[in-house]
Amino acid sequence: MASASARSKPVYRGRFAPSPSGPLHNGSLIAAMASFLDARAQQGQWLLRIEDIDTPRVAPGADKTIMHQLRVLGMQWDGEPVWQSQRLDVYQAAFDTLLARDEVYGCACTRQELPSEGPYPGTCRHGLPPGRQPRAWRFRVPQGVERFHDRWHGPQQQDVAAETGDFIIKRADGLWAYQMVVVVDDGEQGITHIVRGADLLDSTARQRVLARHLGIDYPSVMHVPLLCDATGRKLSKQNHAAAMDITRPLPTLNKAWQALGFEALAVNDMASFWQIALERWAARYGSTGG
Ligand code: GLU
């Protein structure tokens, strides 16, 4: 009879990928907590990736603050964190692959020239208008409906060509677009499971299509609830969500835990919080049992 240790454990590599535009707030903590619990419940790795690619939005020192907040709350990541700003050559290589296959094209359209809503109309898809220079670069989205399963929201489908059309992977300001870098990094880091905020559910179909064209196996996804303010807007750094209170870790953790649909845990210390949370998470979302 095979011993427990001889059984091969399924590989799980999850990640938390905050944009360091400010400290974590109660909304971003939900994604951190859910991704952490899911990874630990499956004896997986939990990586930290600092998404500092959108340099105009980066707040100096926010990466260090986020790491401090995670540690104080008992969420220690595995290995060294990765900073996207240090990986520009990796994104360039992926771009070159797509360009060599004519799967990206230069786009001259300014914001004023584009419709305010709806998909990119494809103006530059078959070549730039005479006398125009490329500003941004777009991915040539193939026809077809993208279907996938979200572990929180169930079956999903999106016709990317019809709904967003060819999307930008390199911006007019020369920066790599989020959709591009997230796909390349999840692929390069061997991520198997994405657990993140529900605002990114709508990006998933685009990311899956792009991943396929880069030969990347797209991870399984779970999009967890967002915290909204009294007016129903997503709590975010842009609308000045207050930073988390890490001087009182337990109430802060319990708030995020309740937002994930669980009952507050009546515990006196963080170790007990995480132990019970892990058991409850595993009971609801699955565990390999160690
Ligand atoms: N950096 C993104 C954010 O902070 C998250 C990206 C992701 O998890 O795919 O909203």
Mutate to test the pocket of ligand 1, among 51, 85, 191, 206 (most ligand atoms within 8 A of CB): 51
pTM for the structure as a whole: 0.93
> Ligand 1 within 6 A of 196 CB?
yes
Q: Which domains does the chain have, with CATH numbers?
A: 4-284 (3.40.50.620)
Residue located via tokens 């004896």: 43
Share of the chain above pLDDT 70, in %: 90
Q: Edge-to-edge strand order for the sheet containing 220-224?
A: 154-159, 145-150, 220-224, 193-197
Tens of pLDDT, residue by residue over 212-254, are: 999 999 999 999 998 766 666 666 655 656 668 899 999 999 9
Q: How far is CA 256 from CA 27, 145, 265, 277, in A?
A: 8, 34, 11, 11
The predicted pLDDT at position 277 comes to 98
Share of the chain above pLDDT 90, in %: 87
Rounded CA separation 14/189 (Å): 9
On average, the pLDDT of the chain sits at 92
Does residue 152 carry a pLDDT above 50?
A: yes
Mutate to test the pocket of ligand 1, among 182, 194, 226 (most ligand atoms within 8 A of CB): 182
Higher pLDDT, 273 or 6: 273
Q: Name every residue whose Cβ is closer than 8 Å to that of residue 209 and which is 6 or more positions away in sequence.
A: 139, 141, 142, 146, 160
Please report, to the nearest 10 degrees, the dihedral formed by the alpha carbons of residues 211, 217, 220, 221 taken in order.
Answer: -10
pLDDT band of 3, cuts 50, 70, 90: very low
Tens of pLDDT, residue by residue over 258-282, are: 999 999 999 999 999 999 999 999 9
Atom of ligand 1 nearest to the CA of 182: 9
Higher pLDDT, 232 or 84: 84
